[in-house]
Amino acid sequence: MDPLQLGTLYDSLKRTVTTFGDRTALVVPPMKGRPYHPDGWQATWTQTLAGTESRKRHYAAGGYGAGHRVAILFDQRPEFVFHHFALNALGCTTVPISPDYRQEEISYMLEHSEACLALAIAPRLDDVRAAAGALAKKIPVLLFDDLEHPLPPPPTPALNVVLDGRSEAALLYTSGTTGRPKGCIKSNEYFHTFGGWFLSRGGRLAIETGKERLYNPLPLHHANCLSISLPAMLLSGGCLIFPDRFHAATFWDDIVACNVTAIQFQGVIPNILMKLAPNPNERAHAVKFALCAGVEPSLHEAFEERFGFPLVEMWAMSETGRMMTDHIEPRQIHTHAIGRSVVGLEARAVDENGIDVRDGEQGELVIRHSAEAPRKGFFSGYLKNPEATEEAWRGGWFHTGDMVVRDATGMFYFADRKKNIIRRSGENIAAAEVEACLVTHDDVKQVAVIAVPDDLREEEVMACVVTNDSAESGEALARELTEWCMARLSYFKAPGWYLFVNELPTGSSQKLQKIKLFASDVDPRTLPDVIDLRGLKKPAKAHA
């Protein structure tokens, strides 16, 4: 069925319950010491609908409906899924907040999204209230999943509209190249497209209706889990299994205990698993495949031989609503192959003028649904930024900012990122946002933030800093700058490496030219004056 005709996610939930109501829908594996559900938790699809209906009544009693956005900081609590579907049933938009966000980041998100209500888990309630209190337009901030107290009414009445596939379902923030994250508007059709795309791939990604148990250790506030995994299991009557985060020490124990049949994660995780000591459970599982973005070709074959299942390479973005995959044999596992152009996902490699490059040459990956309906199933646009939306869609193709090479068979191979984005442990970090934070420090005159390789996390943030004349460069200042960033940005955005320099390279127009910072054969991490502060980058303690 056309994803647009499926209606809302809530409509799909009700349909799934009629067929798969008694099957397990959601699972949180047990984890001793976790502040929520330490003994584990699970719900059938019928129980998921019941949990959704109770939250739906709570929101409806408060007057919430179409046109309202609700921001939620939930830190992987599974009850979030009930809220997400309940808000969807009423036409409200879910705005997930990363638990790693600090006050300034939360304030920006609340203001930009125009959320009329925010919910937060108890340990972060004061933080979110402080972030909301800094806004000119105040919004109420309440305890997450408190159903005993009535909700304050929204400032405006709900819109009287018919909810369908085009209705706004969620607003997810994705790192932009010019500073603040952009609000990515996602419709019901978008979620149905992404989930349905996963289900329709076949080959090494064959999914059996009503039988799969998909394990995804990535956060629910990310598109990877919320936009792909959850809708796929919703549409197929499968089960989504999600811990609070990836835990290497208990990964294989979870996989076996939860009878996992499929896995979805990022390329950094296979790197970690390959470095673990042998575990009896690493071959005692029922896993049929793992869907993974950014697999390192040098370990791909060794991973499959050691653990006994195919590791299928994928490429996607929050905006795309579908993914490219190298899932048909023979797979190109010794390369960065990401898949071919197919019906519903037409792809090209183009130069700066939008002209196709020759096979074997690098070009920017541009994609669309079709010539007749290029944007079908994609994101609806960037909130309050039509210029950025149209720039991304120039020429009728979505410009991904990723560089690829196409071969004579039509296979695309990932080459590099064109955008000024750093990819660390699955998180997209805008260098411009980190630079904007650092230059507000009194001792910083200029700064260039770049990506450097990292054996564990794919890439790490490095800051090349020019200090003011009165400042004393060195490790003490680097530590101070790290604390400065971590007080204002998520911990993972802070630089892990520092290098103090006398000047930064610029062109005739005085524009910074990062490509000239270091020679192509120089690894900045090996320079004599570089400062390694990666050990300071740690997330906040587990939330109670």
Per residue in 329-368, pLDDT (tens digit) is 999 999 999 999 999 999 999 998 999 999 999 899 999 9
H/E element, 188 = helix 188-199
Q: What are φ and ψ of residue 78, in 5° steps?
A: -65, -25
Q: Is residue 28 helix, strand or coil?
A: strand
CA 445 to chain centre: 32
- Would you identify the CATH topology of the domain 422-536? GMP Synthetase; Chain A, domain 3 (3.30.300)
Neighbours of 303 (CB within 10 A): 21
Return the structure tokens found at 521: 């054969």
pLDDT computed for residue 178 by the predictor: 53
Burial of 258 (0-12, 13-18, 19+ CB in 10 A): buried
Pick the CATH number of 335-419 from 2.30.38.10, 3.40.1280.10, 3.40.190.10, 3.20.20.10: 2.30.38.10
Of 191, 5, 152, nearest to 68 by C-alpha is: 152
Q: What is the pLDDT of residue 374?
A: 98
Closest by CA to 59, choosing from 147, 132, 163, 143, is 147
Considering the domain 3-322+330-334, what is its CATH architecture? 3-Layer(aba) Sandwich (3.40)
Token look-up 């507000």 returns 440
pLDDT in tens, 407-426: 999 999 998 776 777 889 88
Distance from CA of residue 329 to its chain's centroid?
28
pLDDT of residue 543: 47
Query: In whole angstroms, what is the distance from residue 265 CA to residue 394 CA?
Result: 31
Q: Is 275 exposed, middle or buried (0-12, 13-18, 19+ CB in 10 A)?
A: exposed
Q: How many CB atoms lie within 10 A of CB 226?
A: 25
d(CA 224, CA 218): 7
Using CB atoms within 10 A of its CB, is residue 514 exposed (0-12), middle (13-18) or buried (19+)? middle
For residue range 89-135, what is the model confidence (pLDDT) as tens digits?
A: 999 999 999 998 999 999 999 999 999 999 999 999 999 999 999 99
Say which residue the tokens 């952009």 belong to: 182
Residue in 175, 165, 217, 170 with CA at minimum distance from that of residue 196: 165
Q: What is the largest CA-CA distance in the chain?
A: 70
CA distances from 487 to 98, 287, 423, 431, 527 (A): 15, 41, 21, 17, 28
**What is the residue-level pLDDT of the chain in tens, covering all 544 positions?**
798 999 999 999 999 999 999 999 999 999 999 999 999 999 999 999 999 999 999 999 999 999 999 999 999 999 999 999 999 999 999 999 999 899 999 999 999 999 999 999 999 999 999 999 999 999 999 999 999 999 999 999 999 999 999 999 999 998 655 568 899 999 999 999 999 999 999 999 999 999 999 999 999 998 999 999 999 999 999 999 999 999 999 999 999 999 999 999 988 788 889 889 999 999 999 999 999 998 888 889 999 999 999 999 999 999 999 999 999 999 999 999 999 999 999 999 999 899 999 999 989 999 999 999 999 999 999 999 999 999 999 999 999 999 899 999 999 999 877 677 788 988 888 787 898 899 889 899 889 999 999 988 889 999 999 998 888 999 999 999 999 999 999 999 999 999 999 998 875 444 577 878 998 889 999 999 999 999 999 887 644 5
Contact 463, 447 (CB under 8 A): yes
Q: Beta strands 497-500 and 531-532: pairing type?
A: antiparallel
pLDDT for 509 equals 41
Q: Is the dihedral of CA 287, 291, 296, 301 positive or negative?
A: positive
Q: What's the rounded Cα separation, in Å, for the pair 83 and 511?
A: 46
β-strands 337-340, 411-417 pairing: antiparallel
Sorted by where each begins, the domain ranges of the chain are 3-322+330-334, 335-419, 422-536
**526, two tokens:** 């090996």
Residue 293 CA: distances (Å) to CA of 336, 337, 338, 377, 424: 10, 11, 9, 21, 13
CA-based nearest residue to 465, from 450, 444, 483, 480: 444
